[in-house]
Amino acid sequence: MRLLILLSVFITAALALALRPHQQLAFTKPLDDLFATDWHLFRHLGGYSPWIPHIHHKGSQDNTIKDGELPETCTVEQVHMLSRHAERFPTVSVGLKMKQLVRRMRDEAGPEIFPFLDRWELFFDVDEATGKSRQLEQLTVSGKYAGVDRARLAGEKLRGIYGHLIEQQDSNTSATSIFSCSCDRVVDTADQFATGFFGNDTSFNHVIVPDRDASRGGDTLTPVKACTRYREDALAGRPNSNTMADLYKLSYLTPTAERLRQIYKSFEFSVSELWTMQELCGFDILATGNEDSPWCALFTKREWEQFEYARDLLHYYRTGPGTPYSEVMGYIYLNATSQLLREGPEKVGKIFLSFAHDGDLVPLITTLGLFEQHTPLPTTHAVDDRAWRLSSVVPMGGRIVFERVSCTSSSSSSSSSEQTGVRLLVNDAVTTIPGCHSSTSGICPLSDFLALVEAKGAAVGKFEDVCGLGTGLGRRPSFLHHGGVLERE
């Protein structure tokens, strides 16, 4: 009898151990190793992490170059950046779900079942009747990953790389402009970034472009909000992305619900609540800086990899290759930037810094053909060797940078010649441009790049036609020039 009791206790303990999540979730260093293989939670948060550098994923078809140092004979003479806003609080809709979930866990179970609730506090306030909140939708303001600080530090970092372009600015020309859409957190990111980038001794204009203005059409930084047909198309547009993501969430979170039910005394979570709990992990870190958030430890490493896949799936069908509208939306910024690269720094200026949302970066990635996924992402299971991985592409503060590069080469006759090219960086990682015959350092000849963009334009069609807008509303951004004026929505 005693043997049976001991055996029963052993089996129960073993089962409980097997069902529990891995407690050591790995904030393995270093995060700045572009070809790192160590597991790190931030690389699986699907864009809900602080800024991290882009990494090459072993086994996938990735465009990242391992040794992409700029040759000593080359200099950057013009830079263009499109950046996501810095670290933020959840949106109102997500925040309301979080508050309701935490209340249910406290009311129906409490610290006796979930001990961490005894000491953990929700990191924002929100009125459930009105949705009003001082924090939700805005940049985080305290802790290790405060968005207001991280945006400024990102500006300081890029000043260290491109500061010579500021110093070369002709004092007789118009003041340098920065550009952002009109969402508060994006505007604040642009201001903080510019403070770090320009310092206190350089003036700049902040051109704020309305997020929603039907009369502007493609004259925008947020084409996903201007493309009417995309927003309404239930089968191939934005609504379809939620349908596809929900199918996969159901497939991977249903077993998770059963695993947690066995651990936490039959307390039952819905699939929607489990998704909210995984979102709580990332936003708890962003808002408080606490990398030991108890919400993260509730899930296994494999469940975090599945969360990452669900986020990749959402992006894929929302603004990526899974929607036929993506490339024409991404072409808006790509075309405008290519024209500025063509004209060169002496005619149009040296620095172009623009700020929007992750949903505005993803179409640009798609139009360029980066991280190409040759088969559509399924909703039944995660594709672990996929190229389409966006956690280190569009984290908070994620940025895509185009450099116009001038290189000097010497010939046998001792004379030298200059060659001009374009280099692409995704979160500091030098990335080859598909279709370009790039050098080992990632430099694509300017003429090749311009020809590639022109061919893309012919392939994707006209913005006003694809999006169902009026004639003439497919024009490219008119505001990308220096000496611009402040615009308000």
Q: Confidence band (pLDDT; 50, 70, 90) for 438?
A: confident
Per-residue buried b or exposed e for 320-352, using 16+ beta carbons within 10 Å of the residue's own CB: bbbbebbbbbbbbbbbbbbebbbebbeebbbbb
- Return d(Cα 255, Cα 269) in angstroms, integer: 11
Measure the CA–CA gap between 456 and 40, rounded to whole angstroms: 36
Judge whether 33 lies within some domain.
no
What pLDDT is stored for residue 64 in this prediction? Answer: 76
- Answer yes or no: is 484 within a domain: no
Quickly count: other Cβ atoms within 10 Å of residue 166's Cβ.
Answer: 17
11 located within any domain: no
**pLDDT class for 172, splitting at 50, 70, 90?**
very low
- Identify the CA nearest to 80 among candidates 358, 350, 379, 297: 350
Dihedral of the CA atoms 258, 21, 121, 288 (nearest 10)? -140
**What is the predicted pLDDT for the residue at 69?**
85
Question: The pTM is what?
Answer: 0.92
Range in 9-13, 158-162, 321-325 the model is least confident about: 9-13
Mean pLDDT to the nearest integer, 42-57: 92
Q: Which residues contact 173 (CB under 8 A, 6 or more apart)?
A: 349, 482, 483
Q: Residue 372: left (phi > 0), alpha (psi -120 to 50), or beta?
A: beta
Confidence of residue 482 (pLDDT cuts 50, 70, 90): confident
Instruction: Look at residue 313 and tell me if it is in a domain.
Output: yes
Total domains in the chain come to: 1
**Reported confidence tier of residue 67, pLDDT bands at 50, 70, 90:** low
* pLDDT at 246 exceeding the cut of 60: yes
Better-scored residue on pLDDT, 214 or 428: 428
Residue 441 near residue 453 (C-beta atoms within 8 A) = no
Query: Residue 78 sits in which domain range?
Result: 41-87+146-240+301-467
Q: What pLDDT score does 134 carry?
A: 97
For 27, counting Cβ atoms within 10 Å of its Cβ (0-12 exposed, 13-18 middle, 19+ buried), the class is: middle
Q: What is the pLDDT of residue 209?
A: 95
Are the C-beta atoms of residues 229 and 237 closer than 8 Å to each other?
yes
Residue 334 tokens read as 């790509």
78: amino acid identity, one letter: Q
Give me the percent of the chain exceeding a pLDDT of 90. 77
- Residues near 28 by beta carbon (within 8 Å), at least 6 away in sequence: 38, 39, 40
pLDDT at 279: 98
- Segment 202-209 shows an average pLDDT of 89
- Structure tokens of 224? 């996903």
**What is the identity of the amino acid at 26?**
A
Whether 75 is covered by a domain: the verdict is: yes
- Residue pair 439/64 in contact (Cβ under 8 Å)? The answer is no
In a domain, residue 112? The reply is no
Question: For the chain, what is the mean pLDDT?
Answer: 89
pLDDT in tens, 111-142: 999 999 999 999 999 999 999 999 999 999 99
In a domain, 251, yes or no: no
Q: Do 402 and 367 form a contact (C-beta atoms < 8 A)?
A: no
Q: What is the pLDDT of residues 72-107, one digit of tens each?
A: 999 999 999 999 999 999 999 999 999 999 999 999
> How far from the centroid of its chain's Cα atoms is residue 298's Cα?
25
> How far does the chain reach from its first CA to its final CA, in angstroms?
77
Bridge pairing between strands 416-426 and 399-410 = antiparallel
- Report how far residue 485's alpha carbon sits from residue 365's, in angstroms, rounded to the nearest whole number: 29
Q: How confident is the model at residue 471 (pLDDT cuts 50, 70, 90)?
A: confident
Residue 202: the pLDDT is: 74
Give dist(CA 305, CA 62) in Å, integer: 18
The CATH number of whichever domain residue 315 belongs to comes to: 3.40.50.1240
* Domain-embedded: residue 140: no
How would you classify residue 92: left for phi > 0, otherwise alpha for psi between -120 and 50, otherwise beta?
A: alpha
Predicted confidence at residue 411, as pLDDT, reads 57
pLDDT tens readout for residues 344-388: 999 999 999 999 999 999 999 999 999 999 899 999 999 999 999
**Which residues, in sequence order, are CB contacts of 145 under 8 Å at separation 6+?**
50, 87, 285, 286, 289, 396
